[in-house]
Amino acid sequence: MSEQRKLVIKGGRRIEGEISVQGAKNSALPLLAAAVLLKGQTELYNCPGLSDCDAACRILSALGCSCKREGSVVCIDASAIGTSEVSEKLMREMRSSIIFMGALLGRCGQCRLSFPGGCEIGSRPIDFHLDAFRKMGAKIREEHGYIACRAAKLKGAEISFPVPSVGATENVMLAAVLAEGNTTIHNAAREPEICDLAGFLNRCGARISGAGTGTVHIEGVKRLDGCRYTVMPDRIAAATYLCCGAITRGELLLTHADIASLGPVVPVLEQIGCSIYGFGNGNVYLNAQRALKAPAQIRTAPYPGFPTDAQPPLMALCAAIPGTTMFVETVFENRYRHVSELIRLGAHIKVEGRVAVVEGVNRLTGAELEAGDLRGGAAMITAALFAEGTTKIGKICYIDRGYENIEGLLKGVGADIRIV
Ligand code: EPU
């Protein structure tokens, strides 16, 4: 990716004020794909303005759907779908383009997509997705970098995943809602975004139960109609801003957030010494003006475990508070790409396979960094807010994939941050 812009951050300023949390990227993307299945118009509210969402909208347009954004509302009408093929160029723009496979199979009985892009945090295979579609009766051919799927009539099936996969659970739900008969997903992912997708599809006429548990049942229906739906708040953006508040020993009020979906992020921040209160109206308050102490161990795991997506910003926070933390990354094999950049700021971190040991220091100093993936980029911003002097972060297109207006929001709460 060619990218001239840089984020320039002068660290050392306390963050204080209010941040309105965006809609969830990882919920908006499957909801946009789900629109392919619906008759009539769909209106998605609180859809974050992110490059990944723009990429999903470009796929919808290329398929022949009408897809228009006005502010945070995206209106989609999939009545006139003209093709079930997505070009390599569009597929490469984001990893989650694979989610269109289930939706297109459900709608058109066939699809042809290239292998998705976005492999910066590990190999990210799609075997669970393909095996599940085969069980549902699809014939799949892989040739010349493309995957062609065909199923005259998709049939419900018993699907069991070796480990819970968010994308594969969503893809099967999308394929199964219009399939003939019943589908059960065993060892399904339990992430809040799965519940959001089920809530949306059920509002459109689907019959899905058990979302949020390890067993999801889908009873195929004949038709789904578009609806109005509000995308859930982004729990990873919220976690990132809480880490930014904590590292500057600041005081933050997040609005439009959902404290329940943050899962173990809240107790970990409390253990570190932050006070956090959820007010039940979408407001989450953080105060980090006490002595902070690093947690002994953080182990990422599928929900309700500690989210792998929040590991990089939390690691940045732990790098700047006294104590030693052992991180164990169990979800992705290559999710420590931010470590070498944090070390450039003066962090003490050693990585051995899936384990990273962080010894907190009381001083980091600004340096020139480069983002290599979305959440790693967020970790660099978090650390830079604490580091003395100026940090410049390149390749910020990775950060644009998942954080809407992050520099504006942080500037609004007192950070010295700008894009050049
Ligand atoms: N896996 C396989 N085969 C498959 C699918 C998954 O082996 O066919 C493995 C993966 O390699 C990984 C594990 O299963 O080790 C879990 O991966 P999962 O499928 O759950 O991840 P994903 O659906 O590709 C989503 C999020 C990620 C988030 C993970 C885990 C979206 C669009 N992406 O990815 O978000 O890290 O779940 O929670 O929902 C991000 O936002 O920065 C991000 C990477």
**Residue of 55, 49, 39 whose CA lies nearest to 70:** 49
The Cα–Cα gap between 136 and 273 comes to 49
CB 196 within 8 A of CB 31: yes
Q: Is 8 exposed, middle or buried (0-12, 13-18, 19+ CB in 10 A)?
A: middle
pLDDT at 143: 85
CA atoms of 49 and 72, how far apart (whole Å): 7
Nearest to 35 by CA among 12, 11, 5, 69: 69
CA of 71 to the centre of ligand 1 (A): 28
Give 328: exposed, middle or buried? Use CB within 10 Å, 0-12, 13-18, 19+: middle
Most ligand 1 atoms within 8 A of CB, residue of 22, 25, 26, 93 to mutate: 26
Q: Which residue has the tokens 């990132």?
A: 240
Distance 212 CA to ligand 1 centre (A): 16
pLDDT of residue 119: 47
Angle between helices 166-176 and 25-34 (to 10 degrees): 20
The predicted pLDDT at position 120 comes to 67
Which residue has a Cα nearest atom 7 of ligand 1?
125
Q: What pTM was computed for the model?
A: 0.97
> Which pair of tokens denotes residue 392?
């410049």
Determine the pLDDT at residue 117: 63
Q: CB count, 10 Å around CB of 420?
A: 8
Q: Is the CB of 354 under 6 A from ligand 1?
A: no
Closest to 159 in 3D by CA, of 184, 182, 139: 184
Check pocket membership of 74 for ligand 1, CB cut-off 6 A. Answer: no
Mutual angle of helices 265-272 and 311-318, in 10-degree steps: 0
How do the pLDDT tens digits run along the chain, 420 residues long?
Answer: 567 899 999 999 999 999 999 999 999 999 999 999 999 999 999 999 999 999 999 999 999 999 999 999 999 999 999 899 998 888 888 878 899 999 999 999 999 998 876 546 667 789 999 999 999 999 999 888 889 999 988 999 999 999 999 999 999 999 999 999 999 999 999 999 999 999 999 999 999 999 999 999 999 999 999 999 999 999 999 999 999 999 999 999 999 999 999 999 999 999 999 999 999 899 999 999 989 999 999 999 999 999 999 999 999 999 999 999 999 999 998 899 999 999 999 999 999 999 999 999 999 999 999 999 999 999 999 999 999 999 999 999 999 999 999 999 999 999 999 999
Residues assigned a catalytic role:
119
Distance in angstroms (rounded) separating the CA atoms of residues 170 and 342? 34
Ligand 1 close to Cβ of residue 96 (< 6 A):
yes
**Is the C-beta atom of 55 inside 6 A of ligand 1?**
no
pLDDT for residue 285:
98
Q: How far is the CA of 309 from the centre of ligand 1 (A)?
A: 10
Distance in angstroms (rounded) separating the CA atoms of residues 39 and 72: 22
CB burial readout 273-302, b (16+ within 10 A) else e: bbebebeeeeebbbbbeeebebbeebebeb
pLDDT, position 82: 87
Q: Which strands, in side-by-side order, build the sheet including 207-209?
A: 158-160, 182-186, 215-219, 207-209
Q: Which residue has the tokens 């951050």?
A: 9
* CA 124 / ligand 1 centre spacing (Å): 7
